[in-house]
Amino acid sequence: MPLSTSPNQSNHLASLNPAQREAASTLSGPLLVLAGAGTGKTRVITYRMVELIRNGIAPDKILSVTFTNKAAKEMQGRMAALLGKRLPAKPFISTFHSLCVRILREEISLLGYPGKFVIYDRGDQESAARTALREIRVTDKSLRPGDLLNRISTWKMA
């Protein structure tokens, strides 16, 4: 059921340029928004979610994935400002990393792995690298844990 629009909430599309307005008002199918930094991607995606909801799409059927936690939080805040707290459900707004971790946690047993896993932060990685270097008896101080991690990162991108 479409949501009603209050007068102060109906002009959000007017603030967009024509290309942004076209993207935000596209109501069918998935949409990929690619643009440089500071060009309004977060605003366009948020306004599109608002338009989808106002046109009868159930909020819990909407997925929005971005790269940064900052953008995800900004989208959630803008959604609340534009639609208020009256939604029975909310769109799933996430970063790529968070979404992938969620999928892995829910489905990892299908891959034959145990249900629990830990994602190492930089400190955990350095500790593991330090342990590995000690176990293989690398005592040369020219290869520090951080150097090893940088080499591994370079190899992964090769």
Note down pLDDT in tens along the chain; length 158 residues.
455 544 444 578 999 999 999 999 999 989 998 999 899 999 999 999 999 999 999 999 999 999 999 999 999 999 888 887 777 788 999 999 999 999 999 999 999 998 888 999 999 999 999 999 989 888 777 788 999 999 999 999 98
- The residue count of the chain comes to 158
What domains sit in the chain, N to C, each tagged with a CATH number?
7-111 (3.40.50.300), 122-157 (no CATH)
Show Cβ contacts of residue 52 under 8 Å, excluding neighbours closer than 6 positions. Answer: 27, 62
Long-range contacts of 109-118 (CB under 8 A, 24+ apart): none
Give the phi and the psi of residue 93 in degrees, each rounded to 5: -115, 125
